[in-house]
Amino acid sequence: MVIFLDWFSVLLLMGAAAGLLVLRNWRWSLILLAAIYLGVFWLVSRHWPVGMAAVKLVTGWMAAAVLGISQMNAPAEDTFEPAWPEGRAFRLLVAGLAVAVTAAIAPAVTGWLGVVPAPAAWGGALLISLGVAHLGMTARPMRVALGLLTLLAGFETVYAFLEGSILVTALLAGINLGLALVGAYFIHAPEPEVET
């Protein structure tokens, strides 16, 4: 039953990270980010004590809350959806390619590192590849913050099986909150004027 829940959390991570890449509504994006941290919590709690794994969950939800509060008065994102190669179909294709890359990399990660179980390797590799894809497709501060948080969540998923230090956990929690605060700042930062 526990193995089933591990693979279910990998499917949750894949769906949430792919949805984060495809969807443009900031409310849904923050809900999907919270779901990513729920999946990371489950995978990490298999190796760490629940109290330490809960740090990742609470920190991720706090980062989502910071980004959500910063979006309350921000201008709405463009609802214009261009066609190929920038539209939703293109982003869905990129998400599919990132999942295919993960399918090629995840078994090797388990072999290289040895102590990382297959569900954690798959979940971490999925988040890293989809986070990198997200970063490669946007320049908006909110989207960049979401991509960086997704990428870092994937790294944390794999790294949790290699290092169980409380100090490292606190450092990574601080980095997550710092990324959210910097993202919130850049959402409201004035656009630099370009001289022509």
**Which pairs with CB-CB distance under 8 Å and at least 24 residues apart come from 35-41?**
36/60, 36/127, 36/149, 36/150, 36/153, 37/61, 37/64, 37/153, 38/9, 38/12, 39/9, 39/10, 39/12, 39/13, 39/123, 40/13, 40/123, 40/127, 40/153, 40/156, 40/157
Confidence (pLDDT) at 38: 95
Q: Is the pLDDT of residue 31 over 80?
A: yes
Q: Is the pLDDT of residue 76 over 80?
A: no
The DSSP line for 89-152 is HHHHHHHHHHHHHHHHHHHHHHHHHSSS-HHHHHHHHHHHHHHHHHHHT---HHHHHHHHHHHH
For residue 185, the tally of other CB atoms under 10 A from its CB is: 12
- For residue 164, the SS3 value is coil
**Count of CA atoms in the C-beta half-sphere (13 A) of 193:** 2
Give the C-alpha separation, 112 to 94, whole Å.
26
Confidence (pLDDT) at 61: 96
Confidence (pLDDT) at 77: 60
* pLDDT confidence band for 74 (50 / 70 / 90): low
pTM above 0.85, yes or no: yes
> Percentage of the chain surpassing pLDDT 70?
93
Average pLDDT of the segment spanning 11-29: 91
Average pLDDT of the segment spanning 169-194: 89
Q: Is the pLDDT of residue 41 over 90?
A: yes
Average pLDDT of the segment spanning 67-92: 71
Mean pLDDT (the chain, rounded): 87
Average pLDDT of the segment spanning 29-48: 93
Ranges 20-29, 121-130, 187-196: which has the least confidence: 187-196
Confidence (pLDDT) at 75: 58
Q: Is the pLDDT of residue 4 over 90?
A: no
Q: Is the pLDDT of residue 45 over 60?
A: yes
Confidence (pLDDT) at 123: 92
pLDDT digits over 103-116, tens only?
Answer: 988 888 778 877 88
